[in-house]
Amino acid sequence: MLLLSCPDQTGVVATVADFVWRNGGNIIDAEQHTDEVDGVFFQRVEFTLDDFVFGRDRLPDAFAPVAERFGMDVTVRYSADRPRLAILASRAPHCLVDLLSRSAAGELPAELAVVVSNHPDHADLVEFHGVPFVHAPVGDDPAAQDRTVRELLQAREIERVVLARYMRILSPEFVDAFPQRIINIHHSFLPAFVGAEPYRQASERGVKVIGATAHYVTAELDEGPIIEQDVTRVSHRDGVDDLARAGRDLEVSVLARAVRADLENRVLVRGGRTIVFH
């Protein structure tokens, strides 16, 4: 498939479709969006390669003249590829349990290669699902633990990282090693209530809705491009524990939707925002 963005102009859709047709492909899904404020066109085109006139390794070079003509930024992805995925978790189990179950059911188009935690609590659960588990305690040297986890993921050739309520702040070096490849679930409707205790903040403000946000991780805490969000109504009768309980349901579903969108190559990032195709 092709994920592309370029200045909005006539002929882009027709030229991309013509490229696929002339080379023996069959378009099975196509979505597009025009940002009329910035004048930018975005498109996701999924097509078959069964009867293509050349192999997939030649596709990027073959499409390069089209990209140059329209000033495109282009990413070529293949739906058959299954990136190596790592999950980082702490003590809260709900997001980890859900992702393990979805992976076992074949819902995530990825190879779940390892689960890493700064606590040993989930070792039996993870190993029950046939996934390697690594305990990486923080101890007295958080920087060393951060480096250990980063090097472990790089040694295992991890391509995507999911923070399933991993309650550690990643170093800039860690984030730089996986640019736009780390997804975090934040237990709040960002940009409201950043930090570690959003449900307490929400309770103190007397909010009427609470939310959850899945986003790509950047060096700025809880500021990365947002992939998925959802909310549920609450009332003055709900205490902090009630908000947290309702929030856990949101976190599970929001994180799963964001991870699937990323793994299915349905997300384009532009600046601090995302275009998420359906």
pLDDT of residue 227: 97
Token pair belonging to 275:
């275009």
Rounded to whole angstroms, the Cα distance separating 198 from 214 reads 15
Which tops the pLDDT comparison, 246 or 228? 228
Contact 97, 170 (CB under 8 A): no
Chosen CATH of 84-276 out of 3.30.70.520, 3.40.50.170, 3.30.70.1450, 3.40.50.10320: 3.40.50.170
Q: Which of 38, 73, 124, 222 is catalytic?
A: 222
Domain segments of the chain as ranges: 2-76, 84-276
In this predicted structure, the answer to whether residue 200 has a pLDDT above a threshold of 90 is no
Same fold for the pair 2-76 and 84-276: no
Of all residues in the chain, the percent with pLDDT exceeding 90 is: 76
Lowest mean pLDDT among 105-114, 129-138, 223-232: 223-232
Q: Smallest Cα–Cα separation from 44: which of 4, 82, 87?
A: 4
- For the chain, give the mean pLDDT: 92
In this predicted structure, the answer to whether residue 195 has a pLDDT above a threshold of 70 is no
Token pair belonging to 92:
């809260």
pTM of the model: 0.90
Helix (H) or strand (E) holding 67: helix 59-70
Q: Specify the fold of 2-76.
A: Alpha-Beta Plaits (3.30.70)
Q: Average pLDDT of 208-226? A: 88
- Reply yes or no on whether 222 is catalytic: yes
In this predicted structure, the answer to whether residue 54 has a pLDDT above a threshold of 60 is yes
